[in-house]
Amino acid sequence: MTLSPIEIEKRPVQAYRQLVDGRLGEAASAERFGRQSPAHDMQVGCYPLADVADADMAVSAARVAFDEGPWPRMSAAERSGMLATVADLIAANAEELALIDVLESGKPITQARAELEGAVDLWRYAATRARAIEGTVPAGLGQHMLGLIERVPIGVVAMITPWNFPFVILSQKLPFALAAGCTVVLKPSELTPGSTLRLGELLTEAEMPPGTVNLIVGHGQTVGQRLAEHDDVDMISFTGSTQVGRSVARAAAGNLKKVSLELGGKNPQIVCADADLDAAADAVVFGVFFNAGQCCNSSSRLIVEASVEEQFHKRLVELAERVPFGDPLDPATKIGAIINDAQMDKIETYVAQAISQGASPLCGTRRIDGGPGRFFEPTVMANVTSDMDIARDEVFGPVLSTMRFDGLSEAIAIANDTHYGLSAGIWTGNYDRAVCAARDLRAGTIWVNCWMDGFAEMPFGGMRQSGLGREQGAQAVEEFTELKSVLFHRGERSDRWVPNGHNRNP
Ligand code: TXE
């Protein structure tokens, strides 16, 4: 397979600024760093490199903004209006934001445009949820008592986001925390910080009160670690690898801040013989090759009924060899570049190891040499067993592992044989099988005769080591709140704890 000719727009390297306490500027150290397009090997951005001092300044700005500033104190209608204004600004700048994500991440331009559309929808949805935060009043506390159960913003939220969906993942968190009345420090991945920092300019244009949102870019082990352990941070919301998620949770234990984690997955699609096999094959190929497999929801495991395994594999290979991949700036491209050399090496190592453990490659398996950029062929590996590393670990590349089953209970047992639990799917024409699978598969999202359909209204998150907490949906804003019980007494207090007239020393 040959790559389409690489073309990159003739535009100057973009210079970005961080946002701290309402000021767009340089990092404290005045240091900067650059990023090359993983698809073109050309420098595309230059960013202030924050360190611990910037993290401390950003947290202190968010703290003051929360404790004394207008954002948590304004009406829900005002907050909602501001979120809608930001949504409009993102929509008006969507093409530029999409291009930034393409150049820094290597994802296809048509996909990046769709992601921006989804992100705008998340901001608009969060704007509506800002006005739907409600408490309750329990009846029956007696004649003299009134109890209010309020939902109050949790406080200062630190957010750490990864490189695979820079603007979408930010939009799954930030507008919901803002809707709740929280203030935020956000650190995007150092591989894809551009669209996050560009948002800082849009927030300034929208006249977001200073300190409400602070955006800094630095390394995970310095800035990320500092945010996770900071005593003035009340909650940390992290998306990334399970390994780093664990270390974030450990760092958060110092002040027992709330932790929300969106981590990895090893997501299975079960394909039964009675399914629409054409539609299923298309969804399996989409599920595993979307974003070059660098996706927490990647359906990297196929569990196919033995009686149709051979014909289904044939169909998959046909599709895998046809799916357009190469230059992400080409609107026809469906599979773009791999994020960096470390990720390429990781993918290659898993594939080689699986072959040595007895898996049979049906197509792909190689990186594309000879041109600029990092590209890995869409790969299908058959005869994989559940004990192989390729079936257990998140490869995060365009690599499908296929296994076979006889009987639905075996399929579900294989599907659940993982320490992850983000998503799972089943393709079947049989209602009973669909209901059974939806009930017994252990994952935060179950897709029946579809894959990766998502809506702002539907909560998203994982069971087991795929994470803690949920984003999106009606509950998303509540994740950034806590309950406060307020008790009012009315009338005279007649009951006394210390009995009237009692004298301890007669
Ligand atoms: O992720 P990291 P990496 C998985 C995927 C991939 C692997 C490695 O399997 O192959 O992770 O990718 C910040 N304290 N996913 O190394 O390191 C970091 O700066 C606090 C799955 O890029 O988890 C970045 O902002 N923060 C995933 C963010 O964590 C730290 C998406 C994610 O980086 C930190 C990405 C630390 N000690 C990778 N170390 C998904 N679920 O979609 C790093 N960071």
Looking at the fold, whether 212 and 97 belong to one and the same domain comes out as yes
In a domain? residue 495: no
pLDDT (mean) for 289-293: 98
- Are residues 475 and 417 part of one domain? no
Confidence of residue 250 (pLDDT cuts 50, 70, 90): very high
**Looking at residue 505, what is its pLDDT?**
75
**SS3 letters across 88-109:** HHHHHCHHHHHHHHHHHHCCCH
Provide the pLDDT confidence category of residue 10 given band limits of 50, 70 and 90.
low
Of 418, 448, 478, which closes a domain? 448
**Residues 160 and 233 reside in one and the same domain:** yes
Whether residue 121 is found in the same domain as residue 19: yes
Q: Within a domain: residue 503?
A: no
Q: Is residue 457 part of a domain?
A: no
On whether both 297 and 225 belong to a single domain, the answer is no
What would the pLDDT profile of 140-159 be if each residue is shown by its tens digit?
999 999 999 999 999 999 99
pLDDT tens digits, one per residue of 378-432: 999 999 999 999 999 999 999 999 999 999 999 999 999 999 999 999 999 999 9
Total tally of structural domains belonging to the chain = 2
Regarding the beta carbon of 228 and ligand 1, being less than 6 Å apart is answered yes
- Is the residue at 154 inside a domain? yes
Residue 41 and residue 27 in contact, taking contact as beta carbons nearer than 8 Å: no
Same-domain status, 65 and 92: yes
Domain that holds residue 332: 268-448
Kindly state if the Cβ of 309 falls inside 6 Å of ligand 1.
no
Q: How much distance in Å is there from the Cα of 263 to the middle of ligand 1?
A: 9
Asked whether residue 504 is domain-assigned, the answer is no
CATH of residue 405: 3.40.309.10
H-type helices in 253-386, by residue range? 277-289, 309-322, 341-356
Does the structure show a pLDDT above 90 at 4?
no
Amino acid identity for residue 4 in this structure: S
pTM of the model: 0.96
**pLDDT at residue 89 tops 90:** yes
Residue 1 pLDDT > 80, yes or no?
no
Does residue 244 have its Cβ closer than 6 Å to ligand 1?
yes
Give the pLDDT of residue 8. Answer: 63
Residue 37 has pLDDT above 70, yes or no: yes
Q: Is the pLDDT of residue 281 over 80?
A: yes
Atom in ligand 1 nearest the alpha carbon of residue 394: 9
> Does 105 map to a domain?
yes
Inside any domain, residue 491: no
Q: Count helices and strands (H / E) in the chain.
A: 14, 20
| C-alpha 241 – ligand 1 centre gap (Å) | 5
- Range from 4-18, 222-236, 468-482 carrying the lowest mean pLDDT: 4-18
Considering the domain architecture, whether residues 158 and 105 belong to the same structural domain is answered as yes
- Whether the pLDDT of residue 443 is over 70: the answer is yes
Closest CA to 291 of 243, 245, 223, 339: 339
pLDDT at 295: 98
Distance, CA of 41 to CA of 47 (rounded, Å): 17
Distance of CA 456 to the CA centre of its chain: 13
220 lines ligand 1 (CB under 6 A): yes
Residues 243 and 141 in one domain: yes
CB 325, CB 1: distance < 8 Å: yes
Mean pLDDT of all residues belonging to the chain = 96
What is the arithmetic mean of pLDDT over 215-229? 98
Q: Half-sphere exposure of 184 toward its Cβ, with a 13 Å CA cutoff?
A: 27
Bridge-based pairing state of the strands 18-20 and 14-15? unpaired
Q: Do 354 and 313 share a domain, yes or no?
A: yes
Q: Looking at the structure, tell me whether residues 258 and 326 fall in a common domain.
A: no
With bands split at pLDDT 50, 70 and 90, how would you rate the model's confidence at 11?
confident
**Judgement on whether residues 425 and 375 belong to the same structural domain of the protein:** yes
Q: Is the pLDDT of residue 502 over 90?
A: no
Q: What is the pLDDT of residue 493?
A: 85
| DSSP 8-state code for residue 221 | I
**Pair (70, 212) in one structural domain:** yes
501 lies in some domain: no
Query: Can you give the CATH number for the domain in which 49 is found?
Result: 3.40.605.10
